[in-house]
Amino acid sequence: MKLSELKTGERGVIVKVYGHGGFRKRIVEMGFSKGKIVEVLLNAPLQDPVKYKVLGYEVSMRRCEADQIEVVTPEAAATVVGATSMPAITDEQLTRAALDKRKVINVALVGNPHSGKTTLFNLMSGNGERGGIYNGETLEAKITQATFEGYTFNLIDLPGTYSLSAYSPKELYVRRQIIDHTPDVVINVLDARNLERNLYLTTQLIDMHLRMVCALNMFDEVERRGDHVDHEMLGRLFGVPMVPTVLSEGRGVDRLFRTLIDTYEGTEDTAPHYRHLHINHGHEIEHGITEIQEHLKRDSNVRHRYSTRYLAIKLLERDSTAEQYIRQLPDAAAILQHRDEAAARVKQETGDDSETAVIDAKYGFIHGALQEAHYTTGHNHDDYRLTHHIDSLLSNRYVGFPIFLLVLLALFSATFLLGQYPASWIEYGVEALSALAGQLLPEGPIKALITDGIICGVGSVAVFVPQIIILYLMITIMEDCGYMARAAFIVDKLMHKIGLHGKSFIPLVMGFGCNVPAILATRTIESPRSRLITLLILPFMSCSARLPVYVMISAAFFAPIWQPLVLFTLYLTGILMAALVSRLLARYVVKGDDMPFVMELPPFRLPTWRSLVRHTWEKAKEYIRKMGGVILVASIIVWALGYFPHHPQSTTEEQLEQSYIAQAGRLVEPLFEPLGFNWKLDMALVAGVGAKEIIASTLGVLYAPENSSSSQNETTETILRSHMEADGITPATAFSFLMFVLLYFPCFATLAAIHNETGSWKWTIGSATFTTLVAWCMAALTFQIGSLLLS
């Protein structure tokens, strides 16, 4: 609990002191340090400030300051030491309980994209959280726990970012997490191959006056290339310990844990590597920082929440978020006047604006520190030499784009052709389970529910798990080897022609897996205009939830040689439709200027099998979990609507025609008549509004093998086709249906994500309405043209 929560006469032992920089140092120097017993003596008449007794003397403190101090009470200590009554708690036991509780360390992982931050998170925690080769993947902070030598670490994996500016939503998110939930220690993960660029973020973290440990990752590649850096000297120059690591092999993690503990337990006087320093930004900037700090320090709320030096620097950088915060303060006018005067003097002296001056000063400090640490680069850069050779082919103006299309075709062909073998095994298992249930269960609604509802419904989706896993595996390979970033580079010019940013390509490709994380990935797009357009066209990207429907229908109506082409055509149609809509939105609806395209191209590397398996499984298990949740429930509901009102004397087909689901389907049938759909297809589409996988399970229930007689030698695809053809479904209708599934109404989760990111019901409802209208028009056109060709 917090010291501010203790009542008069109560006592506790200090566990840790939160807050920033100078404020925290002052509190500790007053005697409020770890393991010290503090007693509440007296509250002021207005309950603030409060008089405390610590180290034998009395001191008053405001409640807002006491709120930054964590304590353990005798009651809480009793559970730690195993005492049965409060009088049994001695001061020694109370102190020991506080020190035990102090062994919980809150750690934030911060670093550039591609630095290995999420790999470290996985190694420290032992879980399988997904990182990626592109900075759009780790979007939300992931939290877990780790233990080491008696300490518990609460780990938070923050999104990869190049800086803590107000340039993109992701940078603001990382900054807000650090400020609002000040960690005990920050691990700054650095790509040791690109130290100068990575250390820029380190200088910003230093401005925030945080206890920090730097992990110099990929140090084996640095040594192999012949680079040299005295990391001990570099650590002393930056005032933070620098620990070489090779996270791909797990090397250096134990040393990193021990350094974390040393930094956490030590003080500025006793920690072996830690010292706080101020990076000199030049006379005029430093003068402006001092003047602004004088005002900021007068406000206790500002002192508790921010390092005042950091906030002053952000103002001089004309950071919009910091300025918005300052405008709420009583001294806002004076603070901003000091900022403007300092900026004007910088302009007169250097000819540059204050933001450029701050950036130049930081890179000047980094350059000088690297020289002092004897940083040199070797000549054995085989990884980049190989990368340049591969790039010369993949990014060639003549063959680069055709190779990209071939890669996509190979992705879909592998998904379809390789997946059909394990899919057939699952299919046999589903059929055997259904037959076994039919033999063991007596006739009645329970048997019908289990065989026709649960097994046929969930089994219709489970059959396609292999295709889903292969699709995720192929996308993971593209990400981990570095090709995904090249694809964004290749299509950048094309993206600009349709009114988008090159970075928009990555969320669009992620949309092939799931639209929801793809929408979250748009936070990496700095341009608000491109971000909004990307959000609105993402539902046209065919997510993996649609894949079971594609495979089910195409396998039933098209020859094996044509099935990959059908799949490719659907995905390509979604891409082209997204491009067309993007162009229209950029030209007529969403106005504004775009931002420059700047994105790192990491070196090509072979992904490890371990990472591929872990990353693919992390994606696929969400799909499998959905089968046991929403798809199971939807299958039961669809079965119930088709089973009731029950007519025992009717045939299966007659029963279905008189059911509630048939009655509901006929109400909407006129809307879909120009598309060639019957009421069964209509209701599958209505059910798919919740989740697209439900379309497959609904069709599995409505066209279950029990609905008519079938030969034992017939495959599921043959049975499905015979049943659907009996309902008047032709290949033209089937392809029209697939086109509608591709383009219509996003699932509820996607709509929720769009609303969450845009904050607007206008765009959310507009997206749902527009995509459904487009789907209707395209499906009608497909059906009419297909019917003419078939006739």
Q: Cβ of 101: how many Cβ atoms within 10 Å?
A: 18
Position 769 scores a pLDDT of 95
Position 212 scores a pLDDT of 94
Q: Rounded distance, CA 110 to CA 229, Å?
A: 22
pLDDT average, residue stretch 598-608: 71
pLDDT average, residue stretch 410-428: 82
Nearest C-alpha neighbor of 40 from the set 63, 9, 4:
9
pLDDT average, residue stretch 85-90: 58
**245, pLDDT greater than 60:** yes
* Neighbouring residues of 600: CB distance < 8 A, sequence distance ≥ 6: 113, 114, 135, 485
Identify whether the C-beta of residue 193 lies closer than 8 Å to the C-beta of residue 224.
no
pLDDT average, residue stretch 443-467: 86
Q: If 0-12 CB within 10 Å is exposed, 13-18 middle and 19+ buried, where does residue 670 land?
A: exposed
Q: Cβ of 668: how many Cβ atoms within 10 Å?
A: 15
**36, pLDDT greater than 50:** yes
645: cis peptide before it, omega within 30°? yes
Higher-confidence position of 544 and 253: 253
**77, pLDDT greater than 80:** no
Strand ordering across the sheet containing 11-17: 57-61, 50-54, 37-43, 11-17, 69-72
Query: Angle at Cα 187 formed by Cα 181 and Cα 190, nearest 5°?
Result: 130
Helix (H) or strand (E) holding 165, with range, is: none
**690, pLDDT greater than 90:** no
What tokens appear for 495 in the block?
């993206």
**257, pLDDT greater than 60:** yes
Q: For residue 268, report the phi and psi dihedrals to the nearest 5 degrees.
A: -65, -20
| Least confident window among 69-73, 382-386, 669-673 | 382-386
Q: Rounded distance, CA 690 to CA 667, Å?
A: 20
The pLDDT-based confidence of 165 (bands split at 50, 70, 90) is confident
**713, pLDDT greater than 60:** no
Identify whether the C-beta of residue 168 lies closer than 8 Å to the C-beta of residue 194.
no
Strand ordering across the sheet containing 242-244: 142-148, 151-157, 104-111, 185-191, 212-217, 242-244
Position 707 scores a pLDDT of 43
pLDDT average, residue stretch 720-743: 92
* Neighbouring residues of 168: CB distance < 8 A, sequence distance ≥ 6: 161, 523, 524, 525, 526
The pLDDT-based confidence of 494 (bands split at 50, 70, 90) is confident
49: cis peptide before it, omega within 30°? yes
The pLDDT-based confidence of 681 (bands split at 50, 70, 90) is very high
Could you read off the pLDDT of 747-778 as tens digits, one per residue? 888 888 898 888 889 999 999 999 999 999 99
The pLDDT-based confidence of 133 (bands split at 50, 70, 90) is very low
Could you read off the pLDDT of 538-590 as tens digits, one per residue? 999 998 889 889 989 998 999 888 888 898 899 999 989 999 999 999 888 88
Position 642 scores a pLDDT of 85
Q: Mean pLDDT, the chain, as a whole number? A: 84
DSSP assignment letter at 352: S
Position 269 scores a pLDDT of 44
Position 134 scores a pLDDT of 37
Q: Rounded distance, CA 505 to CA 484, Å?
A: 9
Alpha helices in 527-562 (DSSP H): 528-537, 547-557
Position 705 scores a pLDDT of 53
pTM of the predicted structure, to 2 decimals? 0.68
Position 131 scores a pLDDT of 43
